[in-house]
A = this chain, B = another copy of it.
């Protein structure tokens, strides 16, 4: 079998686990935040919305040292630290966030919130509300009666947490990938509450090319016979489609050297792809294993809803210009050089727009050949000093 940590979406975790000393670990606690009555942006009333959240550091007396870290597509609020000293790996950005690190938890109160429709329904450490959750009105899973939500909805839930903490203004919102989209949606939605935004491996706009790719991510789930229009909960899940979708996302977040190293231009052990369609190349078998492993802790409908949430990034504004004209934050924009999902040109377009609009904006590319994940793996350390300096200015 394949080790999820060695191969899948979370290879970053293994790298971090190896490169850091086991001592001096930050132990963090998963908490649950509940909103009794919540109305989504499309006007649907939801009762008893629950999301998990995590914090590190101490909120200061005037509550001015808070940094929000929204998470990426396949992650949750576990941005750093360990739940227990025995955890195999810490949160995904542990290399960046902690005592004395680029985002210094000796100075800043850093927190994150599990998104609505979070992918990781089965990991035992994610608290979320989505189609797989029980609708208190019916006592059964929402399924496709759960409303479409957007990146803006994620921001609204985070806003409820921020309000509950008495925070009036965030020192910064820093996020990778979908976390970057949330950082930007925050800066546009609540300009007075966001002093700094650090979108890492993000994009300033959801273009139709990316929307179409996201549509294709979900396609294998929608063609799975167990999909049943999203109302499969309680019965067999569209596992095969979910596996294929997760393979897709894994590949899209990488680049050629990753696949070519893993695949080694070989057939899977004991197989010959020239003999039968069912016999595979090694890279295919590896991706099958990684997708299936990840699928065991994920929910297919949540993936489909997450796709739509991302497609709806900044969709409440007429144009990118209109949206960003609202923002007053200072920006540090950090794409990964070899990213094929959100190529640097998308971040550069945002930097150029913000500059035209008179904003303070810094831009740097994360060097590397690993693709999108270079923003959450070791290569991101190359911009750690820039992040640290930006947060102190």
Return chain B residues, CB-CB under 8 Å to A311.
273, 281
The contact size tier of chain A is 35 or more
B209, A255: Cβ atoms under 8 Å? yes
A221 to B223, CA, bound (A): 8
A150 to B277, CA, bound (A): 11
User: Smallest Cβ distance from A220 to chain B, in angstroms?
Assistant: 5
A148 to B272, CA, bound (A): 11
User: Smallest Cβ distance from A145 to chain B, in angstroms?
Assistant: 10
B308, A148: Cβ atoms under 8 Å? no
Known contacts A240-B223, A260-B207; A274/B212 CB under 8 A: no
Sorted from nearest, which 10 A-B pairs have the closest CB atoms? A208-B263, A225-B225, A209-B259, A208-B283, A209-B256, A219-B244, A208-B259, A223-B241, A223-B224, A220-B223
A209, B260: Cβ atoms under 8 Å? yes
Is A61 engaged at the interface, CB distance under 8 Å to the other chain?
no
A293 to B148, CA, bound (A): 29
Is A297 engaged at the interface, CB distance under 8 Å to the other chain?
no
B277, A305: Cβ atoms under 8 Å? yes
A287 to B, closest residue via Cβ: B212
Chain A 276-315 residues near chain B, CB threshold 8 A: 276-277, 281-284, 287, 304-305, 308, 311-312, 315
Is A24 engaged at the interface, CB distance under 8 Å to the other chain?
no
Number of copies: 2
User: Smallest Cβ distance from A300 to chain B, in angstroms?
Assistant: 11
A340 to B221, CA, bound (A): 25
A215 to B324, CA, bound (A): 39
B213, A251: Cβ atoms under 8 Å? yes
Is A381 engaged at the interface, CB distance under 8 Å to the other chain?
no
Chain A 187-232 residues near chain B, CB threshold 8 A: 207-213, 215-216, 219-225, 230
Among candidates B224, B247, B275, B304, residue contacting A42 with C-beta atoms closer than 8 Å: B275
A317 to B243, CA, bound (A): 32
A209 to B253, CA, bound (A): 12
A248 to B218, CA, bound (A): 12
| A259, A275, A281: most-surrounded residue (chain B CB, <10 A) | A281
Return chain B residues, CB-CB under 8 Å to A258.
209
User: Smallest Cβ distance from A85 to chain B, in angstroms?
Assistant: 37
